[in-house]
Amino acid sequence: MFKNHLKIASRTLLRYRNYTILNVLGLSVSVAACLLLYVVYTYESGFDKFHKNYDQIYRIAKKTEYPNGQIDYTPGSPLPYEAALKVDIPQLGTIVPVYGTIDPQVTVLGKNADSQATDKKFKEEDEGIATVPEFFDLFDYAWLTGSKSVLKEPNVVVLSQRKAEKYFGKWQDAVGQYLKINNKTVMKVGGILENPPLNTDFPVDIVVSYESKRKQPLSFGWGGFDNWGSTSSNDQLFVLLPKNVSVKTIENQFPGFLKKHYKDERSNSKVSHFLTPLSEQHYDARLNNFTGHSISRSVLWTLVVIGVLIISMACINFINLATVQSARRSREVGVRKVLGSGRPELISQFLSETFLIVIGSVSIGVVLAVLSMPLLGLISHVPPELPVINNPGLWLFVLALSLLVSFIAGFYPAIVMSGFQPIEAIKSKVANRSFGGVSLQKLLIVIQFGVSQILVVGTIVTITQMNFVSKLDLGFTKEGVYSVNLDDAYTSRFESFKNELLQNPDIQSVSFSSDVPSSDNNWSGNFAFGNRGKDEDFQVFNKFADEDYFKTFGLQFIAGKAYERGDSTGACVVNETLLAKVGIKDPQQAVGMNIRLGGGKWQPIVGVVKDFKANSAREASKPIMISPLAQYYWLGGIKIRTANISRAVESIEKAYANVFPEVAIQGKFFDESIEEFYKQEKQITLLYQIFAGLSIFIACLGLFGLATFMAQQRMKEIGVRKVLGASVADIVGLLSKDFLVLVLVAIVLASPVAWYVMDQWLQEFEYKVAISWWMFAAGAGMAVIIAFATVSFQSIKAALMNPVKSLRSE
């Protein structure tokens, strides 16, 4: 029976090939889109789920509330916390300190620990942690050779298979050989890990023993193990909470712990601690993770919603076309019923046809998705090496999607057509289905174009916002500044490097600093202003830089000037926001006043710079203090004056190699780093563009099919109208009017939804555009023009037909 149904279904689909092509085209494109979104969703939602203790692992985080209402969060804990927590709150269970990310320079020494070789050196970005053996009790990373016990000793490093092969050729040869980390610490390779999964927030390709940090704290971070007042977000504590201990039980003990150990009388902030589950680490924007890559759950849900909408639109097309097609097949149904076919048999027959279309569409969709996979990085962080084809979950998703679409798209048309009364069906007097007096076809068209309008308006808003951000006055010069990494092991050579560069006419200026003006760094601390007796009720954000920093990055002074080279007074420069927060209205008044960081000495303010965007446009201007402190100079900023950029970069690299032969250079242009701030927003913008285009394409396929069938159904009417004098324009208007009214209704209903969704997205930005009427008008105009073009093609074709031929046709 099933074989007979498939044979009949195949013949029917070939007979109505136009109907088949439209459905296959719409479904295959939507299936490809859904598969790509599925890959992105499963990758982003699967971070660290492979750990067997995934639901029991927590991270200790800190919340700081200031009197002015400012709230700061950090995942970091002061270094003495680990030992104190083990004594004061033993119910926490296993406590694991993790320092990351090391971002090391790795110099391969080989089998000789005393080697001075510098020919094999690598600057590893977003790589490396320092931790204890118990780390591998919490987290499940497999060993190829060695065991966690090797991390009990100082100056030991564990590598992943890929890093071992990168440094030594064969991973089997790596154990027992030596590396130098950051040109400071010689380390012996003690073990090799299997390559970790790509979706983990722990950069375990390089694992340094935590005993190395205990022995040399300043080689891996800063602060000491007796310093309760310094917190770095890089020093984090993870705990394996016993099953019989609740989160609330632990959090209730934190206030007493803080009261016992936190005794900073100068601070007027309120500090509290809480546990955050590992399951939230990848999604909580308040608390950074070690890889620097996170994604909000709202973005993930956006992917899910878009996927559901796209596949739903394809199913709507199928239902719409099948329902219209039912009028043409009513006689077939009537004859089948007269000859004895029952309703279950007819339903089975029509579902077989749907299944064939879906199988063909899914097959084409899988091919399209595989071909498009290399482009997935444009709209996501999915790495190109992610295994996709051999992923069983993907094929289960394909199977589930096939069955679901077959049921959704085929069930309603099958029920409708199998329910025709034989006499009415043979006479072709089948009534159209409606809901509340509204034709089903019309309702589905409204839904399709409503979805398209939401995505089109979303595209227009995101593009407008990103254009606004790109033209925003940042308060500094971002073009033509090339930044390179500096190694604080060679500070004595910094001036030689600067002097060599300045001899080149292509170089305008050179500065050394802890940070570029705009980055994701948030180094902050408590401070006092104007010799006041207590700290201010907010924190100041710090940047350390030499006297050439201001001209190199084009910071604008509105009062005073930059400090001078070798200033022994510890002079500093502040920005407008800091003065506004301390109640100073006239910047000139601030020059000569004093400021003090933490418990340090008072420093005179010698200049005030115009506010500049220290972070992205998502955040408001921050109070900033810039002062010279050479021990924190990790970055060189080089202002290039020539149009020959490649020549200038080549000369910089040559000078760097001459002065720092031990160091692997890592350089990029400043404007490139600013672009990285908005990578996710730009990906979302591109995502909207792609799927808005797909939604319109799918909706127009359905509209094209409906217009074709409507023109065929009204062929005689068109012939009569032409005989009576109707023009081509009259016929086109007659056939297009009903469809355009539906599109306009869809636009009216969808616009409020689009406004709400995009307004919520814009709330993430401190600097943003206003949602304007023209965005909706542009989206509506685009939808109307595309819909009219789609419908008018068939309308014109019908209007140009010879009326004699149309009146003779049956």
pLDDT tens digits, 701-714: 777 776 766 666 66
pLDDT score of 440 more than 80: no
Same domain, 396 and 521: no
Q: Of the candidates 631, 662, 693, which is a domain's last residue?
A: 662
Q: Is 582 among the domain residues?
A: yes
pLDDT score of 25 more than 70: yes
pLDDT score of 642 more than 80: no
pLDDT at residue 418, rounded to an integer: 57
Q: Is 438 among the domain residues?
A: no
pLDDT tens, 241-260? 998 899 999 999 999 998 88
Q: Which domain holds residue 506?
A: 488-662
Q: Where are the beta strands (DSSP E) in 521-656?
A: 524-525, 527-529, 540-544, 557-560, 572-575, 594-597, 602-609, 624-627, 635-640
- Residue 4 makes CB contacts below 8 A (sequence gap 6+) with none
Contact 574, 603 (CB under 8 A): no
Q: 786 vs 25, 223, 453, 651, CA distance in Å?
A: 18, 63, 12, 54
Residue that the structure tokens 């007074």 belong to:
569
Task: Work out the mean pLDDT of the chain and round it to a whole number.
Answer: 84
Average the pLDDT over each of 54-68, 203-217, 252-266 and give the range with the smallest value. Answer: 252-266
Same domain, 229 and 306: no
Q: In the 8-state DSSP scheme, what is residue 76?
A: B
pLDDT score of 6 more than 70: no
Q: Is 668 among the domain residues?
A: no
Same domain, 120 and 248: yes
CA 78 to chain centre: 30
Measure CA of the first residue to CA of the last residue in the chain; give whole Å: 34
Same domain, 87 and 219: yes
Neighbours of 695 (CB within 10 A): 26
Contact 656, 121 (CB under 8 A): no
pLDDT score of 484 more than 50: yes
pLDDT score of 461 more than 70: yes
Please provide residue 618's backbone torsions phi and psi, each rounded to the nearest 5 degrees.
-75, -20
Contact 628, 620 (CB under 8 A): no
Does residue 101 have a cis bond before it (omega within 30 degrees)? yes
Reported as a pLDDT band with limits 50, 70 and 90, residue 88 is very high
Q: Which two tokens stand for residue 512?
A: 């050394």
pLDDT at residue 712, rounded to an integer: 63
Same domain, 42 and 143: no
Residue that the structure tokens 């094999």 belong to:
120
CA 423 to chain centre: 59
Neighbours of 212 (CB within 10 A): 22
Q: Is 480 among the domain residues?
A: no
pLDDT score of 2 more than 70: no
pLDDT tens, 398-423? 888 888 887 777 666 666 655 555 55
Dist. CA 694–CA 692, nearest whole Å: 5
| Mean pLDDT to the nearest integer, 668-685 | 82
Helix (H, G, I), strand (E, B) or coil at 317: helix
Percentage with pLDDT > 90 across the chain:
40
List the alpha helices (DSSP H) in 232-296.
247-251, 254-261
Please provide residue 238's backbone torsions phi and psi, each rounded to the nearest 5 degrees.
-115, 145
Rounded to two decimals, the pTM is 0.84
* Number of domains the chain is built from: 4
DSSP 718-744: HHHHHHTT--HHHHHHHHHHHHHHHHH
Reported as a pLDDT band with limits 50, 70 and 90, residue 721 is confident
Dist. CA 660–CA 493, nearest whole Å: 8
pLDDT at residue 803, rounded to an integer: 64
Does residue 231 have a cis bond before it (omega within 30 degrees)? no
DSSP bridge pairs for 625:
542, 574
Dist. CA 605–CA 592, nearest whole Å: 5
Q: Are strands 557-560 and 602-609 parallel, antiparallel or unpaired?
A: antiparallel
pLDDT tens, 89-136? 999 889 999 998 898 999 999 999 988 888 899 999 889 999 999 999
pLDDT score of 634 more than 80: yes
pLDDT tens, 204-214? 999 999 999 99
pLDDT score of 437 more than 50: no
Q: Are strands 624-627 and 572-575 parallel, antiparallel or unpaired?
A: antiparallel
| Mean pLDDT to the nearest integer, 390-402 | 84
Same domain, 405 and 381: yes
Q: Of the candidates 662, 692, 710, which is a domain's last residue?
A: 662
Q: Is 287 among the domain residues?
A: no
Q: Is 479 among the domain residues?
A: no
Judged on CB neighbours under 10 Å (0-12, 13-18, 19+), 619 is middle
CA atoms 688, 690, 694, 700: torsion sign = positive
Q: Choose between 440 and 741: higher pLDDT.
A: 741
pLDDT tens, 532-568? 778 888 889 999 999 999 999 999 999 999 999 877 6
Same domain, 495 and 581: yes
| Mean pLDDT to the nearest integer, 332-347 | 60
Same domain, 341 and 270: no
Please provide residue 294's backbone torsions phi and psi, each rounded to the nearest 5 degrees.
-140, 170
Q: Is 572 among the domain residues?
A: yes
Dist. CA 128–CA 159, nearest whole Å: 9
Reported as a pLDDT band with limits 50, 70 and 90, residue 282 is very high
CA 204 to chain centre: 22
pLDDT score of 137 more than 90: yes
pLDDT tens, 572-606? 999 999 999 999 999 999 999 999 987 788 999 99
pLDDT score of 680 more than 80: no
pLDDT score of 624 more than 60: yes
pLDDT at residue 412, rounded to an integer: 65
Same domain, 452 and 402: no
Q: Is 789 among the domain residues?
A: yes
Dist. CA 222–CA 220, nearest whole Å: 7
Reported as a pLDDT band with limits 50, 70 and 90, residue 435 is very low
pLDDT at residue 701, rounded to an integer: 76
With vertex at residue 674, the alpha carbon angle to CA 671 and CA 680, rounded to the nearest 5 degrees, is 135
| Mean pLDDT to the nearest integer, 515-536 | 84
Helix (H, G, I), strand (E, B) or coil at 659: helix
Same domain, 98 and 231: yes
Q: Which two tokens stand for residue 798?
A: 């019908």
Dist. CA 127–CA 95, nearest whole Å: 22
pLDDT score of 501 more than 70: yes
Containing 270, the helix (H) or strand (E) segment is strand 270-277
Q: Of the candidates 637, 662, 687, which is a domain's last residue?
A: 662
Q: Are strands 667-669 and 481-485 parallel, antiparallel or unpaired?
A: antiparallel
| Mean pLDDT to the nearest integer, 743-762 | 90
Dist. CA 717–CA 803, nearest whole Å: 9
pLDDT score of 482 more than 60: yes
pLDDT at residue 107, rounded to an integer: 94
Same domain, 93 and 116: yes
Reported as a pLDDT band with limits 50, 70 and 90, residue 225 is confident
pLDDT at residue 283, rounded to an integer: 92
Same domain, 107 and 208: yes
Q: In the 8-state DSSP scheme, what is residue 125?
A: T
